[in-house]
């Protein structure tokens, strides 16, 4: 078992013992998503820490989107619950890049792409190919794409 998955299970046990309903339900759902990912496909396999981290990131993104939808729908209590679940999951993810750090990485990638002859909005694909490996897991794709568009535009 991977270290991240075992940490999740240990934390789940501690949350159950401490009668922390929110944390235990959130960790249960996340472990279920991990197990589902492990058994999907033709053969069952054990996920690496990176793959487990991707599943946790996906679950956290679901919580953020659900919180936004509930807030827009006027269901503040449910939105707060989803947001709290997202914060619990964020504890298991690497620290996200700040806007300044992300902008610096993207600016370097734009310079590399321009050096290779790509310019303007059509260079987006080439810049993203350079940026994505550097920020994998550290910044959400939408944020990265928005920053790339902004820097390419002007």
101-141 pLDDT, tens digit per residue, is 888 888 888 787 777 776 766 777 787 888 888 877 777 77
As to burial, measured by CB atoms within 10 angstroms (0-12 exposed, 13-18 middle, 19+ buried), residue 71 is middle
1-41 pLDDT, tens digit per residue, is 668 888 989 999 999 999 989 999 999 999 999 999 889 87
pTM of the model: 0.74
């Amino acid at each position: 078992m991977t270290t991240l998955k075992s940490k999740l299970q240990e934390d789940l046990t501690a949350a159950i013992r401490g009668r922390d309903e929110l944390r235990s339900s959130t960790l249960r759902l996340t472990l279920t998503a991990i197990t589902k990912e492990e058994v999907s496909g033709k053969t069952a396999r054990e996920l690496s820490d990176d793959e487990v981290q991707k599943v946790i990131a996906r679950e956290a993104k679901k919580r953020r989107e659900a919180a936004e939808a509930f807030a827009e729908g006027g269901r503040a209590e449910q939105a707060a619950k989803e947001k709290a679940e997202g914060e619990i999951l964020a504890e298991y993810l690497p620290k996200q890049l700040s806007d300044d750090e992300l902008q610096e990485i993207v600016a370097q990638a734009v310079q590399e792409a321009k050096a290779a002859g790509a310019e303007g909005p059509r260079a987006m694909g080439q810049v993203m190919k350079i940026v994505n490996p550097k920020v994998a897991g550290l910044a959400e794709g939408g944020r990265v794409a928005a920053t790339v568009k902004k820097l390419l535009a002007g």
